[in-house]
Structure 1
Amino acid sequence: MAFSAFSQTIVKGKVTDATTGDPLPFANVVFVGTTTGITTDFEGNYQLKTSTPVDSIKVTSVGYQTKAKAITRGTTQTVNFQLQEDVTALAEVVVLAGENPAFEILRRVDKNRKYNDKRKLEAYEYDTYTKIEIDVDNISEKLRQKKTMRKITQVLDSVERMAGEDGKPILPMFISESVSKFYFRDNPQLRYENILHSKISGVGIEDGTLVTQFIGSSFQEYNFYQNWLNIVSKEFISPIADGGRMYYEYDLTDSMYVGDHYCYRLDFFPKSPQDLAFTGTVWITKEGYALKQIDVTIGKQANLNFIEKIKIQQELEKVEGGAWLPIKNRVLIDVSELTNASAGMLAKFYTSNKNFTVNKPHEATFYQHPIVMAEDARLHEEDSFWDTLRHEPLTDTEKNVYKMIDTLQNIPVVKTYTDIIKIVVNGYYDAGKIFIGPYIGLFAVNNIEGFRLQSGFKTSYDFSGRWVFGGQLGYGFKDERFKYSAFVQNILSRDRWTTMSVRVRRDIGRVGIDDEILADNYLFLAAQRWGVFRKGYYFDEARFNFQREVWKGFSQRIAFKYMTFEPTFDFTYRKPSEGGVYDTASRFQNAEVMIESRWARDELFVQDGNDRISLGTSKWPIITVRYTRGIKGIAGSDFSYNKIRLSFYKRVRFGPLGVGYMNVFGEYMFDQAPYPLLSPHLGNQTPVYTSATFNLMRYGEFVSDRYVGLQYQHHFEGLLLNRIPLMRKLKWRLLGTANLIAGGMSKANQKLVTANEEDGIGYLTNGKPYMELGYGLENIFKFIRVDFIHRLSYLDNPDVRKFGVLVSFQFSL
């Protein structure tokens, strides 16, 4: 019996991931036994119709098990699919005679890259909607039976349906939505996102100001036309990179219409599963060979820690000017459970972009701040208001997520654990208008103070958004001395970040530890309070500091510091003398003014209450120039001198060869001063590797008044060990290090060193640098790093370690 137009079989529905409940775009849906098929849209929806007699429909998607369902002929019906991941290994590619037809398509993609890549545009801007959800998943039965979990069992059980009929239970912890205006311009390369509205609901999220700056589209942007993509701080090779054939196997599997564009479908997977590369599918337009759609996955075989899977899906459209811009992005990061008795985590990101304007750049000052949140961004969170802002409505599941998080926030045990996590992450206990801590310096043990106990506080944004007060009080039970610090800071401007602060302090320090240079190394500064203090000293200090961001990337700082120096070791020095007659002393006072300029062209900052947090630079170096002037006579200050310091820090990407971190620095003292005011180079006599030190140099072994140094680390990722069959399963990674410093001490400053100090310090010989080279392994049991260091110079010095094996612990993906 033939079917008329009025007896068509029409099937529509949605295809989702059975584990996460997320839609599966670009899946193939076909009537079994026919050639009638379609691919799902970005939301996983499809609709098929036929007049041919059919009784079933089938769905296939790369990385998922094929699934078929029976249908009823001659009716309109809804059939939804939940696909399970296919964990079987990919079959080997069979290469037949002749060239792989996918290669010609890839060559044409590369040839047309300059026309299709959005980087060709002078500028572009668009409206963007972003949605983020974070869930706890893979909750083991053992974890569910623990006492602390039983109190939320009722909530957990009601969530089990959220992943779909074949899915696993998930526990939502955070969901956010934001609506922004995003701007980009080239030459100079600048970007700016204005977050107009945001809605946040999360366990432990109270204010949400900092989180709001992370939920815009700026952190969810991926351009596959780049050869290398930075994802979770790692460099991944793009499947359409100009050198992609070195890393991928390709297969031209189909050609079809995707919307209004006829496209070639290419499937690909890494030649080595441990490489930082993707498995997936790409759709390339026949006209212009542009990237239309891409669906890629990074599996747990890749050399990544704690990551079960990363999935990125993207759909692009051609805009005025010829380039293709993403109109929809979806990213899923599946974090694996640390132990069999713990749980994992799912982080899901979705962005939708529309209303594009291209090649109309604004003035450079328009992009002064990369991320700005409107003052009223979080004032309107009611559902009716957000229904008018969303590019598409929330699903029923997402509506339930909001309700579930509201319920979880009111469970006492959840509040308790949230507070504990905040203390661990922030180092302070949030008591409302004040933070109590930091707990990293709560106690220490050393040979001068014995057991040291310390606590402190600082005010929060709830106390004042302009003024910050804080202080710490400590006591050493051996030296029976109190130590303290107190400070006040005024935030003069948040637009061009401008602060003024005053601090007074009485404490104990070590010669050679410069808390100005090591200001960001909180762990090291806390750790240096432990152990044996070689060349320790008590001090009183008063400091004034003013800094301002003059323009984007360039900041200026001026500071004044007064300090006293009271040594705990046998220390004397000769006072500088113009007439050649030297008096000796063991204590001194010093006053100095410091002027510093810092340039970091593409550095990204976010504001967390009264703190400004740097997220580093992506391309350009950080250059710092500091001039210091010692002023004799102020409050008894003993010295007058001039000193200048320069540093250059850069993260260097080497593509398949890994990534390097380079720090070049130097200093020059023009005048005379005792050696604690010069540059005692920071050694390391512990078995723990520290990147800020020279690891085979003894404490205080060298002091200079002029020097230039280099510290370099290179992480090869899995470049070599991934190719060794017995090693690649361990996911170990090779690294290399190089530290060198060349300098010396002027005769004038050497004359200030007394005889009892000459045996305790040494000088670098002009033209002979101190050098140490190292190699090592990291990612041993995911956390352990072992460095093998060789010292190459000054080997005749006393008590020298020519070779050292140093261990450290690090958290790295």
Structure 2
Amino acid sequence: MLAQETIVTGKVTDAATGDPIPFVNVVFKGTSNGMTTDFDGKFRIRALAITPADSIVASYIGYKPRSKKIKRGITQVVNIQLEEDVTKLQEVVIKSGENPAFPIIRKVIDNKSINDKRKLSGYEHETYAKMEIDADNISEKLREKKIMRRIAQVLDSMDRIAGEDGKPILPLFITESVSKIYYRDNPSLKKEVISKSKINGVLGEDYSDLLAQMIGPSMQDYNFYTNWLNFGRKAFVSPIADGWRAYYDYELLDSAVLDGHFCYRLDFFPKSEQALAFTGTMWITKDEYAIKQIDATVGSTANINFIEKVKIQHEYTKVEGGAWLPVKSRVLIDVGEISANSAGLLAKFYVSNKNFVVNQPKPTSFFDRAIEKAEDANLEEEDKVWDSLRHEPLTTSEKNVYHMIDTIKNIPIVRSYVDILKLIINGYYKTGKVFIGPYLGAIAWNNHEGIRLQAGFKTNIKFSRKWVLGAQLAYGFHDQELKYQAFVKRILNRKQWTTFTLQSKYEITRVGFDEDFVTDFPLFKYASRWGRYDLSNYFHEYKAVFERELFKGFSQKVAVRQYDFIPTYPFEYHTSPADITSPTTNQFKTTEVFFESRYARDQVFLQNDNDRIGLESKRWPVFTVRYTHGFKSGLGDFTYDKIRVNVNKRMKMGPLGNGYINLTGEQIFGTVPNPLLGVHLGNQTRIYLPVSFNMLRFGEFASDRYASLQYRQNFEGLFLNNIPLIQKLKWRWLATANVLVGTLSRANQEAVTNPSGENQYKTFALDPAKPYLEVGYGVENIFKFLRVDFVHRLNYLEIPDSRNFGVFFSVQIQL
């Protein structure tokens, strides 16, 4: 007869999140008999019944050890939840001689080019992705709030999402998708084709699809074989980066056979608590020195906003061609509470890949869109269909999430709070087929309009997927002028984004204020409506714009524009600008056509409602070229040509943070009044604008030929992390510099007169041998939201009313 055995199987999970924990040591108490959990947190251990152990013990780096009672001599299931140990700091003891982990790490570095998936000319695979966003750390004080009392009954059943003794979690959003991922090298291109998608969230359908695009599997590709892993605008140093020894300490702790591969276990720890580096465990294969499994965590001590923890887990398999690709991945992002009365957020991602095809790259034309969704992807399918699509079944708690979200979002008070949140995010209030707003510009005051009130609307996708209508009305109680704008946009093609827009507008603006420059800065746009207007004008504008994406990253825009200039300040120009003896007048009109080409090689675009949203380019610069021709006709007083070129790029600098450069050059051909020249964007608000010259007045300088450079350096925590009293605040140092070189021909200088003779109404010319300079420095991440810039103007201080120093503020949400 076989000796009686004690067999224990189970799963180890995180008590706070419910996610499985790989690499956990599970042993019979008082013995070395046990194993480590697999990627899914599962274990199976056995011992003879005569073994005296009456408990099993689970332990893992970063968690408090835990034991659980067992019964001897039977087969049983024992699940264990581990609580994070936030106070315990791992110490690495360096003994005499070389650390035995170092030779292994060197071999890993030497073999990166062989094992990295980027060595392949191309690969593709089927992907199942599951993403869930939950509210966690729901305090008792928050539970007493009216909205929380209404959903208390739902909350009482939340415990089983995290597990039998886990913390309560409130589900907010869940999505599943089945897709194919394609990659090719030279050029490096990636595409996700979503065939099926299932989405449910408390925000409803308005943002769920956009959120699914933003956090889909193609956005969760973290490659540890690169030196830096990008997370938003943050860059985390890989534990196998080329400069590993400067950032990490290592311990060689164990060896085991995983899926037939003999592997070394290495634990790694950042040398600095504030560094954007990982703590965790990786298993390295003995033969290829490739990562077989990795569990890497960035904790709350790192200089990163809002985030308590980022955990990335990968399990790899070797494919044809020798590279290792992830077959399973998990990413967990734990967002901390903003205040004692708020809750935190958990974002959990799971990706499973299978059926790999390598070294058969698709043609570059195939990658015209980074994310493509089948027309029937969102069609509801029966549960049995999804059961066949999933790579593995949902857990019981995951099945309950769909029902819980439906219950929560139908509670009236929850719907009210959701509407308020949408208003804050979007600036508009949605009612049926229409958005009302934007509310940010609802009221303003300036010396020309007095109190200004504004209201508007635009239609949404429920009105039409092809037509967008919108209008705004504004009234100034001092100038007693009714301003308006109205537009109609036809979406001709969503796949290869193509639109045609007609627009009519009557407004007041500042001279040199180009809305194309400030589209991405709505706070500055509306702040500029406040205060004193010295150089300003009313205008009528009629515009027709056709825009099309011709191929991936390259878009073309063609527009025809008619514009009337009506000044509010003393302004006159010669009716024949080239003839200073010609009569003068103070109003003009123009008719122009412009052609704009834009190339952003690796920019990803998402679609939300009837809008197209461009994410920041990751690696390549963005080029924009615009040619404008003005016609002299019954609707235009001048003939002129303009050519403007702009290049902007974000530069990742590792430990130095991020640099941002914006280069612009323009040439105007012809003699025209200065409002039609290159009027350099100033700033008379207290809101910092990175694309303006913040110490200039609006309309202070104009050029017919110029080049400008705007640069800012965000040092992250490079300097302030080393100051003991400040490092806990997680403030970040930054520096800025703006340079402007320009010239203005004598003909263009003499084309305009200043009837009042007052400098406040004068637009000046730059000395071509004397660049305009302003430099700044500042601190960001104050209270996690506030940025303060101190800017010095270094020259042209002889100009009356010029400012040599300014303090500016901005609100930003960043990690």
TM-score range, shorter chain: over 0.9
Shift of 1:44: 1.2
Q: What secondary structure does 2:156 align onto?
A: helix
State how far apart, in whole Å, the 1-side matches of 2:562 and 2:673 are.
Answer: 16
Shift of 1:804: 3.0
Residues 289 and 396 (structure 1), Cα distance of their counterparts in 2 relative to 1, 3 Å cut:
same
State how far apart, in whole Å, the 1-side matches of 2:695 and 2:90 are.
Answer: 50
* Corresponding residue for residue 685 of structure 1: 684
* Corresponding residue for residue 144 of structure 2: 145
| Letter of the structure 2 residue corresponding to residue 800 of structure 1 | S
State how far apart, in whole Å, the 2-side matches of 1:295 and 1:757 are.
Answer: 71
> Within 5 A, what are the aligned runs for 1:768-783?
768-783=770-785
| Letter of the structure 2 residue corresponding to residue 218 of structure 1 | S
1:11 aligns with 2:16: no
State how far apart, in whole Å, the 1-side matches of 2:90 and 2:599 are.
Answer: 51
State how far apart, in whole Å, the 1-side matches of 2:232 and 2:688 are.
Answer: 25
Which of these residues, 46, 50, 58, is aligned with residue 47 of structure 2?
A: 50
What whole-Å deviation, never above 9, does each CA across 1:361-401 have from its counterpart, x for those lacking one?
A: 11111111110111111113332111011011000111111
* Corresponding residue for residue 92 of structure 2: 93
Contact 2:580 2:751 in 1 (8 A): no
Shift of 1:215: 4.7
State how far apart, in whole Å, the 1-side matches of 2:617 and 2:333 are.
Answer: 23
State how far apart, in whole Å, the 2-side matches of 1:53 and 1:756 are.
Answer: 106
Q: What secondary structure does 2:755 align onto?
A: helix
| Letter of the structure 2 residue corresponding to residue 552 of structure 1 | K
Q: What secondary structure does 1:386 align onto?
A: helix
Residues 577 and 425 (structure 1), Cα distance of their counterparts in 2 relative to 1, 3 Å cut:
closer
* Corresponding residue for residue 597 of structure 1: 597
State how far apart, in whole Å, the 1-side matches of 2:429 and 2:40 are.
Answer: 42
* Corresponding residue for residue 178 of structure 2: 179
> Within 5 A, what are the aligned runs for 1:743-782?
743-756=742-755, 759=759, 760-782=762-784
State how far apart, in whole Å, the 2-side matches of 1:546 and 1:224 are.
Answer: 43
* Corresponding residue for residue 805 of structure 2: 803
What whole-Å deviation, never above 9, does each CA across 1:287-308 have from its counterpart, x for those lacking one?
A: 1100111111111111111111
1:564 aligns with 2:564: yes
1:188 aligns with 2:187: yes
1:82 aligns with 2:81: yes
Shift of 1:516: 2.5
* Corresponding residue for residue 233 of structure 1: 233
State how far apart, in whole Å, the 1-side matches of 2:395 and 2:738 are.
Answer: 55
Contact 2:577 2:672 in 1 (8 A): no
State how far apart, in whole Å, the 2-side matches of 1:774 and 1:428 are.
Answer: 34
State how far apart, in whole Å, the 1-side matches of 2:156 and 2:127 are.
Answer: 35
What whole-Å deviation, never above 9, does each CA across 1:136-163 have from its counterpart, x for those lacking one?
A: 1111111111223211111112213332
| Letter of the structure 1 residue corresponding to residue 509 of structure 2 | G
What whole-Å deviation, never above 9, does each CA across 1:634-690 have from its counterpart, x for those lacking one?
A: 42x111001110000000000111101110001111111100111221222344422
What whole-Å deviation, never above 9, does each CA across 1:693-752 have from its counterpart, x for those lacking one?
A: 212223322111111001111011011221232321121111110101000100110111
| Letter of the structure 2 residue corresponding to residue 386 of structure 1 | W
Residues 755 and 445 (structure 1), Cα distance of their counterparts in 2 relative to 1, 3 Å cut:
closer
* Corresponding residue for residue 656 of structure 2: 657
Which of these residues, 6, 31, 35, is aligned with residue 32 of structure 2?
A: 35
Q: 522-531 vs 570-579, which deviates more?
A: 570-579
Task: Count how many residue pairs are aligned between Structure 1 and Structure 2.
Answer: 809
State how far apart, in whole Å, the 2-side matches of 1:262 and 1:473 are.
Answer: 71
State how far apart, in whole Å, the 1-side matches of 2:725 and 2:439 are.
Answer: 43
> Within 5 A, what are the aligned runs for 1:394-409?
394-409=394-409
Q: What secondary structure does 1:369 align onto?
A: coil
Q: What secondary structure does 2:489 align onto?
A: strand
| Letter of the structure 1 residue corresponding to residue 574 of structure 2 | R
What whole-Å deviation, never above 9, does each CA across 1:170-198 have from its counterpart, x for those lacking one?
A: 11111110000110001111111110001
State how far apart, in whole Å, the 2-side matches of 1:624 and 1:374 are.
Answer: 31
Residues 219 and 757 (structure 1), Cα distance of their counterparts in 2 relative to 1, 3 Å cut:
farther
Q: 555-564 vs 791-800, which deviates more?
A: 791-800
Aligned-pair Cα RMSD in Å:
1.5
State how far apart, in whole Å, the 2-side matches of 1:211 and 1:92 are.
Answer: 40
Q: What secondary structure does 1:425 align onto?
A: helix
1:542 aligns with 2:542: yes
Shift of 1:755: 4.1
* Corresponding residue for residue 271 of structure 1: 271
Q: What secondary structure does 1:204 align onto?
A: coil
> Within 5 A, what are the aligned runs for 1:197-346?
197-206=196-205, 208-346=208-346
Q: What secondary structure does 1:517 align onto?
A: helix
State how far apart, in whole Å, the 2-side matches of 1:381 and 1:446 are.
Answer: 56
State how far apart, in whole Å, the 2-side matches of 1:519 and 1:785 are.
Answer: 20
State how far apart, in whole Å, the 1-side matches of 2:338 and 2:518 are.
Answer: 32
State how far apart, in whole Å, the 1-side matches of 2:575 and 2:519 are.
Answer: 30
What whole-Å deviation, never above 9, does each CA across 1:214-234 have from its counterpart, x for those lacking one?
A: 353101111000000111321
* Corresponding residue for residue 494 of structure 2: 494
Q: How does the TM-score come out when normalised to structure 2?
A: 0.97
Contact 2:62 2:88 in 1 (8 A): no
Shift of 1:409: 1.7
| Letter of the structure 2 residue corresponding to residue 795 of structure 1 | L
1:62 aligns with 2:58: no
* Corresponding residue for residue 787 of structure 1: 789
Shift of 1:616: 2.0
Q: 351-360 vs 19-28, which deviates more?
A: 19-28
| Letter of the structure 2 residue corresponding to residue 491 of structure 1 | I
State how far apart, in whole Å, the 2-side matches of 1:209 and 1:148 are.
Answer: 26
Shift of 1:580: 5.6
State how far apart, in whole Å, the 1-side matches of 2:401 and 2:407 are.
Answer: 10
Shift of 1:807: 3.0
Residues 318 and 733 (structure 1), Cα distance of their counterparts in 2 relative to 1, 3 Å cut:
same
State how far apart, in whole Å, the 1-side matches of 2:805 and 2:435 are.
Answer: 45
* Corresponding residue for residue 672 of structure 1: 671
Contact 1:658 1:719 in 2 (8 A): yes
Residues 806 and 437 (structure 1), Cα distance of their counterparts in 2 relative to 1, 3 Å cut:
closer
Q: What secondary structure does 2:544 align onto?
A: strand
Shift of 1:47: 1.0
Shift of 1:575: 2.4
| Letter of the structure 2 residue corresponding to residue 111 of structure 1 | D
Residues 397 and 614 (structure 1), Cα distance of their counterparts in 2 relative to 1, 3 Å cut:
same
| Letter of the structure 2 residue corresponding to residue 681 of structure 1 | H
State how far apart, in whole Å, the 2-side matches of 1:215 and 1:780 are.
Answer: 27
* Corresponding residue for residue 114 of structure 1: 113
